Structure 1
């Protein structure tokens, strides 16, 4: 569990923590052992060294006799700060010139420009939170929907980490008993109850697989769902796109082949972000421009996370619909929702032909009939069995976490197989060690500098 720390925590770092560009306020943050004394060198106001933490102070920033700006300084003394070091936050007017002058001045007085994510990295290294929680900070900043915000907040507050710690704690005791058996190998004794270990491993494995299953939904919550609307010309694809977006985004015309390029836009449905893509109608054509659009449609369909295949109820039979969907040649993992349009002008016989077809929704896009039901169906397709299939509130959204869970599951399988076939204690202990290490890497209990660098360089500079 040793953490190599070839990073200098003796430096005092500084960075702009608000977005670059002109604005009302800009915030420059310092963290490190000299954060307060460096600021004192340029601050015209109370002597910060003599002030208590969690206090605000008004004054000026001076370069010698030259006043750069009037500012408010926020003072946080470690360990009661974000990084658990002394932290100073200087709120200035949001001018690029002022910010650059201030940063240059603080560097001349002894600070170092922070690397990407270095503030959060220091918070992790000082034990403010674990690695999974640190990564959730970046997810929280990037959250663009209510659901992605909810999941990131839950992880940042340690819900996922606590579940992993509970998993590891249940395995550690048995791992220790196996290691003890190795110490007494010549005496041929068993300290670990094999039956109890099998039961424990099965329970832990079930929890790991539950977390892995949640990643599919977590990935959707974090990155959104690319949903391609495909179908024949004049099926009403552009009308449906406009209705879903609630704006006139695409040109609607009775002339077949109006849409010749891809039109994309996003909308949030119940906290999940959908990126809808309107496409050219699928048909054989001699029109050069339209044929290019058709080829782009075919390529985009193959890149979709979900395909809405729109068809005209009045001109399509169930057999034709099935043949058209099969002609898309989609991967088995890509769900297809067949949506019948023009419900308002279809006959009872035409409607009845599709009413009982599984995986089919019926709408009148031009009037909005059935759109609420369609939205709910889209959500159900994406959620699968819904949030409840995770068995709780923990949803895995991070690819690194999912890979570590997959590796842990493989090593747990190896231990179970070894117990069933009577493998030696050495092999069982080795696989169990690997499983514990895989789980520990998620929270950073087992880590290395390369991993930390890879993670934190994805953060913004001032975080």
Structure 2
């Protein structure tokens, strides 16, 4: 059974062959194990030592670099040794075998970062940022995660906590010392600070939501009748001829996707079978998948062939069968009028849609406009600058904090009950503490760190 006092080891480099492979060791016996592995009498902290690595019988395994970081001046806060050898999977496994034979155990996923958190080297936001950097799929996602690792998001939370704590002091002083003529809780200053905190939290929450979108990405479903140009749009967006394009209705029968980076957000566009009534069993299956995607996608683009339009305004049920139209309009969608290069009519309005964008997918006309509109729909903003690298856990915590402050302001304005406000402020403080990990259940920590790499 694993224990936090065990000395742990793991490969810290990606699986497979490479020029260099790194094994990380952490724990009270890390230094002793490294001396045994290298057959050296000492390792100077923070110095690179070129040496050979030996098995328990004294036979050389490989040669490379050994680096020792003594506690508490290490990533985990424990004694840490990094062994850098040639990146052969065979060599890596031999070195791990010798370390485990001498008393170490293989680290659990994320255990190095978990120990850093438990030893107060990083907070929970910073620990999660390590995994976010590794998993980042765009430049902006990586930069945002790095800012969180450096403490930018934590600083936001710390500042909010300090202001909430100061407000609690004011309110509870009036409760605890009623005979001292302390009337802080009955002044406009409390209301003003509450309102200022609510405004700041809304801004922070929105910034975190944009950061989560940048980290997790957006799925966009391309929906429309056959030959509307969905596959052409997919090919143009992806810069590849992934989708087969013909004049034959029903060419696309299964979903096909492509991923692109738009302003730092990873978008995945999914081409689908054309929506129409058909007796073809295979095509029906493709249409069913398209309809399911309408429900699961983050954004739906309804692609419409401009050459089929003659009116100034169209309802969706005039463009699709009633059943298909009902399914589409059950959620917000963006109407995209395609093939405007082949039409002489003015693009119509589609009242059911949240907006209408006109393009010529085959030639890439107005695709920049479409991309900007997608960014705005996804984030509610025109830019992704200054976003925080965030997860749903952080957003739930910020929303819970905001709810508590809004409840507190409502209670204070309607009842003037300082006791109710004090309780709401305590709840707000607790929700923020959960974000940084000051108060975190063991099962939550287990869930967070279980998604890390073994060597992290």
TM-score normalised over the length of structure 2: 0.90
Does 1:190 find its partner at 2:179?
A: no
Give the corresponding residue for 2:27: 32
Q: 1:73 to 1:246 in 2, by over 3 A?
A: same
Tell me the distance in 1 between the aligned counterparts of 2:122 and 2:308.
60
Asked if structure 1 preserves the Cα contact closer than 8 Å seen for 2:45 and 2:67, the reply is no
Tell me the distance in 2 between the aligned counterparts of 1:141 and 1:377.
29
The 5 A counterparts of 1:357-396 are 359-387=355-383, 393-395=386-388
Asked if structure 2 preserves the Cα contact closer than 8 Å seen for 1:298 and 1:328, the reply is no
Does 1:94 find its partner at 2:87?
A: yes
In terms of mean alpha carbon deviation, does 447-456 or 79-88 score higher?
Answer: 447-456
Tell me the distance in 2 between the aligned counterparts of 1:421 and 1:37.
66
Q: 1:428 to 1:361 in 2, by over 3 A?
A: closer
For residue 177 of structure 1, report the CA deviation from its aligned partner.
3.7
Asked if structure 2 preserves the Cα contact closer than 8 Å seen for 1:212 and 1:396, the reply is no
The 5 A counterparts of 1:333-372 are 334-347=331-344, 350-351=345-346, 353=348, 359-372=355-368
Does 1:296 find its partner at 2:293?
A: no
The 5 A counterparts of 1:57-136 are 57-136=50-129
Structure 1: gaps spanning 5 or more residues: 1-6
Q: Deviations over 1:302-322 (max 9, x none)?
A: 211111111111112454464
Tell me the distance in 2 between the aligned counterparts of 1:236 and 1:246.
15
Tell me the distance in 2 between the aligned counterparts of 1:426 and 1:327.
53
Give the corresponding residue for 1:313: 306
1:327 aligned residue (325, 330, 351): 325
Tell me the distance in 2 between the aligned counterparts of 1:121 and 1:335.
41
Give the corresponding residue for 2:447: 454
Give the corresponding residue for 1:222: 215
The 5 A counterparts of 1:233-252 are 233-252=226-245
Q: 1:296 to 1:451 in 2, by over 3 A?
A: closer
Runs of 4+ in 1 over 4 A off after TM superposition: 352-358
When the two chains are superposed, the root-mean-square deviation of aligned CA atoms in Å is 2.5
Q: 1:191 to 1:79 in 2, by over 3 A?
A: farther
Tell me the distance in 2 between the aligned counterparts of 1:319 and 1:223.
36
In terms of mean alpha carbon deviation, does 450-459 or 145-154 score higher?
Answer: 450-459
State the secondary structure of the residue aligned to 1:123.
helix
For residue 181 of structure 1, report the CA deviation from its aligned partner.
4.2
Tell me the distance in 2 between the aligned counterparts of 1:248 and 1:365.
13
Give the corresponding residue for 1:284: 277
The 5 A counterparts of 1:164-183 are 164-183=157-176
Tell me the distance in 1 between the aligned counterparts of 2:326 and 2:86.
56
Asked if structure 2 preserves the Cα contact closer than 8 Å seen for 1:302 and 1:331, the reply is no
Tell me the distance in 2 between the aligned counterparts of 1:456 and 1:42.
29
Tell me the distance in 2 between the aligned counterparts of 1:167 and 1:295.
48
For residue 337 of structure 1, report the CA deviation from its aligned partner.
2.0
Tell me the distance in 2 between the aligned counterparts of 1:422 and 1:416.
10
Q: Deviations over 1:189-211 (max 9, x none)?
A: 53534321111111111111222
Give the corresponding residue for 2:13: 18
Asked if structure 1 preserves the Cα contact closer than 8 Å seen for 2:397 and 2:434, the reply is yes
For residue 418 of structure 1, report the CA deviation from its aligned partner.
2.5
**How many pairs does the alignment contain?**
448
Q: Deviations over 1:76-129 (max 9, x none)?
A: 223322122221111122232222221121122122221221111121222222
For residue 47 of structure 1, report the CA deviation from its aligned partner.
2.8
Tell me the distance in 2 between the aligned counterparts of 1:235 and 1:254.
10
Tell me the distance in 1 between the aligned counterparts of 2:123 and 2:308.
59
TM-score normalised over the length of structure 1: 0.89
1:47 aligned residue (33, 37, 41): 41
Asked if structure 1 preserves the Cα contact closer than 8 Å seen for 2:168 and 2:422, the reply is yes
Structure 2: gaps spanning 5 or more residues: none
State the secondary structure of the residue aligned to 1:314.
helix
